[in-house]
Amino acid sequence: MSGERLVDICGLKYAYPVYTPGMERENILRGLNLQIKKGEFVSIMGPAGAGKTTLCLTLNGIIPHSTGGKFGGDVIICGMNTKKTAIAELAKKVGIVFQDPESQLFSMTAADEVAFGLENLGVPREEMRERVCAALQMVDMTAFAERSPFHLSGGQKQRVAIASILAMEPEILVLDEPASELDPIGKSEVFRVVNRLRNEKAMTIIMVEHESERIAEFSDRVLIMDQGRIVMEGPPGEIFNKTEQLRAAGVSIPQMAELSSGLRERGYGDCNFITLEEGENYFAGKA
């Protein structure tokens, strides 16, 4: 991992605009600081309404450029201050995949869908074809290139949505609960792709998720958000062993972390695994 800082957020505060007379404007983000280096995989957890999606929208300038509202502090993406940079410029650096695949697809075929953003960027035909092929291959959807997105499963739709972002070759990929609306098969398909992007491409990824097992497996760092602030932050091994604090924050805990916390309470003080693989190693060491 190089030391290059791709995200540098300092004192970020944000309140959505209020259109109802007499209603108070409420700060949804309340003084947030965050730095992310190139190649890092950072996961964000937290209860509903904590401000996770709001934070994602500040990364590509949708907040404040499209939303308005009251914005304070600075969000610097690849050296560009979002306040002074157009959304179109930021979109080349930050790609966001949202939770609902339906709302992100509108083309006749999966390949057209992936090509759409590139057409807007004015990418030459030949290069466009190559980028579309590579992106569909990365998400294992080559066989469905000519299929209408509307005739795909939820997991397949979400993989096309991810491919259309990948084709733009962003520096930072943001996944806002990419699997939360999918069935178990769709979830596994999407997480397989995420794992691949992490392992094979070493992409800088920010993922909002509730699936703590996946987070424990993938992340370099976990952030817990509550009421517009980052309330816990650290490597997954450290965060997921603070089971009491996580329960209080309303965050799900990996089953392996629950098991290892239970064993610690029963006197196995050296027990601190959070994934199946780590648990296996622990018990192999005891055998």
Ligand X SMILES: Nc1ncnc2c1ncn2[C@@H]1O[C@H](COP(=O)(O)OP(=O)(O)OP(=O)(O)O)[C@@H](O)[C@H]1O
Smallest gap, in angstroms, from Cβ of residue 133 to ligand X?
A: 33
Contact indicator for 77, 172 with CB cutoff of 8 Å:
yes
CA distances to 121, 145, 199, 247 from 136, rounded to whole Å, are 18, 7, 17, 39
Query: Which residue, 49 or 235, has its beta carbon nearer to ligand X?
Result: 49
Angle CA 205–277–259, to nearest 5: 100
Rounded to the nearest whole angstrom, what is the least distance from the CB of residue 78 to ligand X in the complex? 23
49 sits near ligand X (criterion: CB under 6 A): yes
Minimum distance from residue 15 beta carbon to ligand X (Å):
9
Distances (CA, A) of 32 to 27, 37, 140, 219: 11, 17, 37, 20
**Beta pairing partners, 35:** 8
Pairing of strands 80-81, 70-77: antiparallel
Q: Exactly one of 27, 53, 109, 142 binds Mg ion (CB under 5 A); which one?
A: 53
Nearer to ligand X, 16 or 116 (CB): 16
- Taking 3-state DSSP, the helix, strand and coil percentages for the chain, each rounded to the nearest 5, stand at 45, 20, 35
**Residue 49: which of Mg ion, ligand X, none does it interact with, CB under 5 to 8 A by kind?**
ligand X
- CA distances for 23 relative to 3, 62, 63, 70, angstroms: 44, 23, 21, 14
Tell me, residue by residue from 2 to 31, as one string, x for binding to ligand X by CB under 6 A and - for no binding.
Answer: --------------x-----------x---
Q: Should residue 250 be labelled a site residue for ligand X when binding is judged by CB under 6 A?
A: no
Q: Is residue 262 within the footprint of ligand X (CB under 6 A)?
A: no
DSSP state of 20: S
Q: Which of 12, 14, 43, 52 lies at the binding interface for ligand X (CB under 6 A)?
A: 52
Which of 43, 54, 85, 156 binds ligand X (CB under 6 A)? It is: 54
Adjacent-strand bridge partners of 77? 7, 80
| Residue 198 interacting partner from ligand X, Mg ion, none (CB closer than 5 to 8 Å by kind) | none
207 binds ligand X (CB under 6 A): no
Q: Which stretch binds ligand X (CB under 6 A): 41-49, 155-163, 211-219, 241-249?
A: 41-49
53 binds ligand X (CB under 6 A): yes
Strand partners, 166: none
Q: Which is nearer to ligand X, 48 or 143 (CB)?
A: 48
The kind and range of the H/E element at 223 are strand 221-226
Q: Which residue's CB is nearer to ligand X, number 63 or number 135?
A: 63
CA distance 97 to 173: 8
Letters for 109-128 (x = contact with ligand X by CB under 6 A, - = none) are --------------------
Strand partners, 226: 229
Among ligand X, Mg ion, none, the one that 46 touches (CB under a kind-dependent 5 to 8 A) is ligand X
Is there binding between residue 157 and ligand X (CB under 6 A)? no
Place of tokens 């943001």: 174
The nearest distance, CB 57 to ligand X, in angstroms, is 8
Which residues sit at the interface with ligand X, rule CB under 6 A?
Answer: 16, 28, 46, 48-54
